Structures are given as structure tokens and as C-alpha cells.
């Protein structure tokens, strides 16, 4: 604790700002508090003049009558008061209609690292398909000795594994290559969510099918409107690729590909093909529409990166954010700066945060579960001073990669890539605690 703080103080650029309470402070303040409490002065002084809070003084309506019977809402719903915690859409992010579009996850309201199934971001290219599970068939064919057809029940007979992984659209943040556009974390970073997925490793199924040595690629194709397909290298198939049917303890939602989707942990959400229909093994790639016309990143030299698999290391501060500002804080309040870090290349190893727009950095703490290719929470305690800040975060992973600055990323990728933008995100905190989306582009 002391070591860490002294290191932070060394690395902190503005030593005049006391960002963290050290241990000595803690004892001094507790002593002061107990002294005042004993003396019965300052802390409760003046409260006599305050009006009593009706929320305390009055009986509440729900406390003086019977509640709902437990037979109501057999599938439970959130409190009506939580109706604003919802997915949102923007016409700008649609290709003509709401079927080829995206619903953004309210990550400012996300607690912990699991996204409730009803709030999981949802992207479709030809609408959300409603598959009859009794007519679901999965075909595995191509360069295998023994092609196979499975029903849903047969697939679910395979031994299951459960893994917590994020899924992110590689266009997350894509509208902001040329500058900030949304004063909203939901729209700036909400093309992602994280869940516990249950299914079977594809390598487990392949054990009995005799994969031919010349097989280098696997086509995964959906049964939806456009038969959305993507080519997956065999390396990933034999590493951690899964066929999943479970999402946070229940069946996949239709928006996530009910009854079965491909899960390629850490890789482009688009590759995690939904409403899955078949897997075809081949010695050559397939050049499906979404891996050529889209999901390729055009660089300034006119060449485009194709097969851009992993969503690279990334992070964002979720509190404060434009939707969750600091306008209610008083100078001197202690407040937790909190955020999400994730990497499709591996596991988060650390997150730094900046208060001065990327000039100086200080290490934050990680908290909770720290899992490969999963949302990881970071935390930093800050004493609010009511002065302008430019807050940002920078994550690192165990592959040895770190988020680039905007200048570093743009120098290589330009501003027309659309996909895979993982440079450092920053919020401007104004003197009165409002939070705006800004970019540090030097």
C-alpha cells in the first residue's frame, strides 16, 4: 500500500494535487471525525434547521399495502424505474433501415463485468432472425473425413464449458476517427458487452471428425436473411473457438444468435456468426461479403487490412462520463474513478489514468475478476477539487500491447479505417463537473 502510493506519487506529474489519501491521512481524519462526533459539534451542526425528509418521515405507498403475488412476472423484469437503462439506436449507425443496424449497450449503467441479456449490444445485417430450435441443424463439412449433422439437442450433449468473454463490434468508436462526435459513452463505446457463455469447444467436436491436414480455414455461416458468413483461421478453431448456446445462465437471446452462435473469444463480433447453420473447412479463404466489402481497415497508403481478427487492448472511464457527470460533487468529496478495460489479445495487466490529457499518467488499481478476453474493472480514488480535468485511461495486456495515442494510431491507420480504433479515450471534466467527449490529438 505504502510502496504503491509512493510509486504513484513519484510518477504523478502534478505533485501539488493530492489524488489519494495515504494511510497517515486516513488516521488523522478518523481521529478528527471521532473528536467532533464526541464533542457533538460541527458534523451535525445546523441540521436542526433542515426540513425533515418526507421519504423518511412518511409511510411509503409500497409499505402500507400488499405487493405483487409471486405468480406475477414469471419471467422477471427490471423495476419500471429503470426504463432508461436500455439499448439505444441512432439512424447514423444504420445502413438504410433498422434491420441492418446496431443497438448500443448502456455501458454507463453496467455493473460489474456481466451485461444483462436484455441490454447486450445487438448488431444485425438482415434483421434479428427467429430460429425454430426444432428445425435447427448444424452441418460440419468440407475438409473433414466424417462430415456431421447435429440437432440442437445432440449439440448440447457435448460436454459444456462456461467462459466469460466480451464481444465487441470492431466498429466500436469507429465514427470518431476524425474527431469526437457523440457526447455519450453509450454511443462512443457501446458496441460491446460481456457475458458468461456456455457451449462446447469446436476442437472437442473435431476430435472425432478427422480434420484433414490441408484444412487452413473454416467458413462459419448463419441461417439468417443474408446467410452472414466469415472465414476463420484453423489456428483459432483449434485454440479457444466455441459453439455457444448459453448466455448468462439461460439460452442465447435471438439478438445474440439463438439457438447457437460461434464465439471467437476476443475477435471481431462480426466473426462470431449468429443463428449458426454450418461450418465448412477449406484450404483457401472464402471472401465472404462482410470480410471484404466491410470489416477491412483502409490505410493511408491505399492498402486495406483484411482478416483483422482481434479487438485490440482498449479501455474507457465509465464514471465519470457524459451520462454520469460529477455535477453533484462538492469540493473535497472522495470519488471513485471507475472504468472498463478489455483486450482481445489476452488479459488486462494494468491501466494507467491521466488527469491532464495524456501528458502524465498514474497507475490505477484493477478490481474484481481479471479474466482473459473479458471486461476488467479498474478503479482510482480521487478527491474532487472542482477544477477542469482531461481524464483518460490507457490499458495494457499480457500480450505486451498497450493502447496507442490517437496520434500514434492515426499515423499508421489514417482516419478512414472505420474499424479497430483503440486509441486512448478522454473526457473533459469542466469546473462544474460536467463531462464532455474530447480527443487529445497531438
Partner 1 sequence: MFKLDRKSLVSISLIAAVSVGLTACFGEATPGAVSFSNGSVSHTYANGKAVIDGGVTYPVVANKTSVYFVNPDTEKGGYTYGRTPTKNELDAWSKSVTPYAPPPEGSGSVSDGSDIYDAKCVMCHGDFGSGGGGYPALAKGNAYKGQKETLTHQRGITGDEGPIRVFGTYWPQASTLWWYIKEGMPHPAPKSLTDDEVYALVAYTLNINEMKIDGQLVDDDYVLDREKFLKIVMPNKDGFVPKIDGPQGPDNARAFFSDPKNIGAQTVANRCMKDCIKGENKLTRIKIETKDFLPPISVARDLPKQEGKADSNAVAMKHYEDSCKMCHGADGMGAPVVGKKKQWAPYLAKGIKAVYKNGINGINGMPPKGGTDLSDKDFKAVVDYMVSASK
Considering only residues 276-305, where is the footprint of partner 1 by CB under 8 A?
277-278, 280, 282-289, 292-293, 296-298, 300-305
Phi, psi of 113 (to 5 degrees): -120, 5
409 binds partner 1 (CB under 8 A): yes
Site for partner 1 in 225-244 (CB under 8 A): 225-227, 229, 231, 233-236, 238-240
286 vs 384, beta carbon nearer partner 1: 286
Q: Are strands 365-367 and 362-363 parallel, antiparallel or unpaired?
A: unpaired
159 binds partner 1 (CB under 8 A): yes
Applying CB under 8 A, among 47, 48, 73, 84 the residue interacting with partner 1 is 84
- Side-chain-side CA neighbours of residue 338 (13 Å): 20
Q: Do the beta carbons of residue 277 and residue 184 sit within 8 Å?
A: no
101 vs 193, beta carbon nearer partner 1: 101
| Phi/psi-derived region of residue 395, left when phi > 0, alpha when psi is between -120 and 50, beta in every other case | beta
| Rounded-to-integer distance, Cα 387 and Cα 303, Å | 45
**Short-list 231, 256, 236, CA closest to 246:** 256
Q: What is the pattern of x (binds partner 1, CB under 8 A) and - over residues 55-74?
A: --------------------
Q: What are 270's strand-pairing partners?
A: none
Q: Do the beta carbons of residue 101 and residue 95 sit within 8 Å?
A: yes
**Short-list 306, 322, 392, CA closest to 357:** 392
**C-alpha of 360 from chain center:** 25
Site for partner 1 in 11-30 (CB under 8 A): 11, 13
288 vs 337, beta carbon nearer partner 1: 288
31 binds partner 1 (CB under 8 A): no
387 binds partner 1 (CB under 8 A): no
338 vs 356, beta carbon nearer partner 1: 356
Q: Do the beta carbons of residue 420 and residue 299 sit within 8 Å?
A: no
Q: How far is the CB of 401 from partner 1 (least distance, A)?
A: 5
Applying CB under 8 A, among 196, 414, 430, 434 the residue interacting with partner 1 is 414
Site for partner 1 in 355-384 (CB under 8 A): 356-363, 365-366, 369-372
How big is the site for partner 1, counted in residues (CB under 8 A)?
A: 154
| Rounded-to-integer distance, Cα 8 and Cα 15, Å | 10
Applying CB under 8 A, among 42, 94, 327, 432 the residue interacting with partner 1 is 94
Q: How far is the CB of 248 from partner 1 (least distance, A)?
A: 16
Q: How far is the CB of 279 from partner 1 (least distance, A)?
A: 11
198 binds partner 1 (CB under 8 A): no
148 binds partner 1 (CB under 8 A): yes
| Rounded-to-integer distance, Cα 426 and Cα 435, Å | 10
**C-alpha of 339 from chain center:** 10
Task: Please name the residues in contact with 139: beta carbons below 8 A apart, sequence gap of 6 or more.
Answer: 147, 148, 149, 277, 278, 279
207 binds partner 1 (CB under 8 A): yes
Site for partner 1 in 95-124 (CB under 8 A): 95-100, 108-109
Amino acid at each position: 500500500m505504502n510502496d504503491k502510493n509512493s510509486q504513484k506519487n513519484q510518477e504523478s506529474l502534478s505533485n501539488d494535487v493530492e489524488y489519494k489519501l495515504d494511510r497517515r491521512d486516513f488516521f488523522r481524519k478518523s481521529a478528527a471525525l471521532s473528536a467532533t462526533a464526541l464533542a457533538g459539534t460541527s458534523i451535525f451542526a445546523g441540521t436542526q434547521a433542515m426540513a425533515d425528509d418526507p421519504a423518511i418521515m412518511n409511510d411509503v405507498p409500497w409499505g402500507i399495502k400488499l405487493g405483487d403475488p409471486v405468480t406475477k412476472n414469471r419471467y422477471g423484469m427490471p423495476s419500471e424505474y429503470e426504463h432508461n437503462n436500455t439499448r439505444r439506436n441512432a439512424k447514423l449507425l444504420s445502413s438504410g433501415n433498422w434491420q441492418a443496424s446496431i443497438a448500443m449497450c448502456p455501458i454507463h449503467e453496467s455493473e460489474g463485468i456481466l451485461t444483462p441479456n436484455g441490454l447486450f449490444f445487438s448488431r444485425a445485417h438482415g434483421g434479428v432472425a427467429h430460429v425454430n430450435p426444432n428445425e435447427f441443424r448444424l452441418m460440419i463439412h468440407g475438409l473433414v473425413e466424417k462430415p456431421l449433422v447435429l440437432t440442437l439437442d445432440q449439440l448440447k450433449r457435448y460436454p459444456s464449458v462456461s467462459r466469460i468473454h466480451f464481444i465487441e463490434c470492431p466498429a466500436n468508436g469507429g465514427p470518431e476517427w476524425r474527431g469526437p462526435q457523440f457526447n455519450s459513452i453509450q454511443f462512443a463505446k457501446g458496441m460491446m458487452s460481456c457475458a458468461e457463455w456456455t457451449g462446447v469447444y469446436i476442437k472437442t467436436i473435431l476430435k472425432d471428425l478427422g480434420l484433414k491436414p490441408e484444412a487452413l480455414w473454416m467458413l462459419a455461416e448463419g441461417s439468417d436473411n443474408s446467410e452472414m458468413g466469415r472465414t476463420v483461421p484453423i489456428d483459432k478453431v483449434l485454440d479457444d473457438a466455441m459453439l455457444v448456446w448459453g448466455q448468462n445462465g439461460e439460452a442465447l437471446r435471438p439478438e445474440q444468435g439463438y439457438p447457437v452462435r460461434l464465439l471467437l473469444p476476443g475477435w471481431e463480433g462480426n466473426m462470431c456468426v449468429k443463428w449458426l447453420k454450418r461450418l465448412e473447412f477449406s484450404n483457401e479463404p472464402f471472401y465472404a461479403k462482410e470480410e471484404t466489402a466491410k470489416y477491412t481497415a483502409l490505410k493511408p497508403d491505399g492498402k486495406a487490412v483484411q482478416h483483422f481478427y482481434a479487438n485490440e487492448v482498449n479501455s474507457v472511464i465509465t464514471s465519470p462520463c457524459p451520462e454520469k457527470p460529477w455535477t453533484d460533487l462538492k469540493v473535497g468529496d472522495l470519488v471513485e474513478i471507475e472504468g472498463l478495460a478489455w483486450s482481445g489479445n489476452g488479459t488486462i495487466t494494468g491501466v494507467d489514468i491521466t488527469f491532464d490529457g495524456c501528458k502524465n499518467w498514474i497507475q490505477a488499481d484493477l478490481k474484481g475478476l481479471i479474466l482473459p478476453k473479458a471486461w476488467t474493472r479498474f478503479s482510482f480514488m480521487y478527491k474532487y477539487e472542482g477544477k477542469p480535468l482531461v481524464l483518460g485511461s490507457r490499458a495494457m495486456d499480457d500480450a505486451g500491447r498497450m493502447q496507442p495515442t490517437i496520434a500514434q494510431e492515426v499515423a499508421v491507420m489514417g482516419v478512414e479505417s472505420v474499424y479497430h480504433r483503440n486509441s486512448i479515450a478522454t473526457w473533459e471534466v469542466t469546473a462544474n463537473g460536467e463531462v464532455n467527449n474530447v480527443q487529445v490529438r497531438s
